Amino acid sequence: MKKICVFCGSNSGFSEVYRKSTIELAELIVERQLEIVYGGGNVGLMGILADHVLQGGGLITGVIPHFLAAKEVGHDRLTKMIFVDSMHERKQKMSELADGFIALPGGFGTLEELAEILTWAQLGLIQKPVGLLNVDKFYSPLILQLDMMVEKGFLKTENRQLLLADATPSGLLLKMDNFIPVKTTKWISKDET
């Protein structure tokens, strides 16, 4: 991996642990001389991530829709800023630029970005590692829900394995480094009907 796309919240959450983990991830990525691709914001965990990558001398590319930039939430000191017309185009561009994806804690937007990139992986459109930084068990209920989807027959085991998770930035990056694409099966064969 040379470029990692980070999905994260435009809020920073109520606990300091989210901020600290974001800073730790930024520092590790800079130390490893990787580049970050993210949503281009200057607020919440997005702003914290960008500020610490820049402070460490790292490279960071933002991808932001014009309508969000017009609301003055775009970061103005990034290595590069790419402007797009829609949220969908933003995800498409981030996917093209990145070699892997990490979701930090966030809200609907972060969850939607994660779900779409996992769907693309399930469909075989991408074969890149996708990870959850499960800070302070933030994503534990989601992980349980995914396991329930497998148990109830709505998600195949090999597709569930597309999502890596760890509580620490270093642990997650190690899992992503060791990621081996799995052959996914989305479609039900006629034998299963």
The residue behind tokens 């499960």 is 134
Q: What range does the domain containing 40 cover?
A: 3-192
> Using one digit for the tens of pLDDT, what is the confidence trace for 90-119?
999 999 999 999 999 999 999 999 999 999
Domain count for the chain: 1
> Using one digit for the tens of pLDDT, what is the confidence trace for 173-192?
999 999 998 776 665 555 55
- Residue 25 predicted with pLDDT over 50: yes
- Residue 193 predicted with pLDDT over 50: no
CA distance 16 to 31: 23
Segment 152-173 shows an average pLDDT of 96
Nearest Cα residue to 115 out of 163, 180, 169: 163
Cα torsion 183, 188, 191, 193 to 10°: value is 160
CA distance 167 to 151: 24
CATH of the domain at 184: 3.40.50.450
Contacts of 169 (CB under 8 A, 6+ apart): 21, 24, 25, 28, 133
